[in-house]
Amino acid sequence: MAARDGKMRFAIVGTGLMGVEHITNLKLRPDVQIVALVDPFRKSLDHARSALGESAQGVESFPDCAALLSARKSGLGVDAVVIASPNHTHHEVLQPLFGTGLHILCEKPLCTTLDDARRTANAARAHTERTGAIFWVGMEYRYMPPVAEFIARIRRGAIGTLRMLAIREHRFPFLRKVGDWNRFNRNTGGTMVEKCCHFFDLMRLIVASEPVRVFCSGAMDVNHREER
């Protein structure tokens, strides 16, 4: 439930590059107020406060979600949480938030292992059914205007019957992040999880069907040959 002034009050969990991206976007909305930042690293918190600018005044900082929820019990008004912490932390970070009635937006990928993803998905479903709160994974590619228009044209029959779908992405190298966590498969889930989850989501959406088999191969022929 929003505050009496009509604003939805957000806590940002994980204030690195993606956390700051969410802060920048949320600041554009007059019906939103960021009230808390959660991150164990002071440097990341400082970046987030810089992004908040003048609106950083009065925003509280916490090292983890347990401290955030403790402050909420003591009166801190929070309606929604954005999880933008590293991929491999999502499963642990989300657990104390389930059942609280908080709306949750979790950055992709949901988790880095299949078992953690199943457990988290089941817990998220129960969270929504029990409290009525929204749980959403940030698969934002489907909402990008060019992509949304492309899908709409397919649905309108612009190409006739869809027989095959291929997606190719040309992008810059992965960005440097705290502790280089995103350079290692054990933290990201691997490229197919970290990045290609967007394309799997789009494929499922466009063809309106579920896959029956997945095959994957890859190599390091050109990029990142000097990675540790």
Give yes or no: residues 96 and 177 share one domain. Answer: no
Give yes or no: residues 131 and 60 share one domain. Answer: yes
Of the candidates 187, 190, 198, 184, the one whose C-alpha atom is nearest the C-alpha of residue 218 is 190
Percent of the residues in the chain that have a pLDDT greater than 90, as a whole number: 79
Question: Where is average pLDDT lowest: 78-82, 140-144, 224-228?
Answer: 224-228
pLDDT tens digit string along 93-125?
999 999 999 999 999 999 999 999 999 999 999
Domain membership of residue 94 (yes or no) is yes
> What is the rounded average pLDDT of the residues 140-155?
94
pLDDT tens digit string along 39-49?
999 999 999 99
The domain in which residue 75 lies consists of: 8-138
Number of domains in the chain: 2
* pTM listed for this prediction: 0.90
In DSSP notation, 32-92 reads: EEEEEEE-S-HHHHHHHHHHHGGGGTT-EEESSHHHHHHHHHTT----EEEE-S-GGGHHH
- Mean pLDDT score across all residues of the chain: 92
Between CA 210 and CA 217, with CA 211 as vertex, the angle to 5 degrees is 150
Rg (CA), the chain: 19
Give yes or no: residues 114 and 35 share one domain. Answer: yes
Specify the 3-state DSSP secondary structure of 142. helix
Give yes or no: residues 123 and 146 share one domain. Answer: no
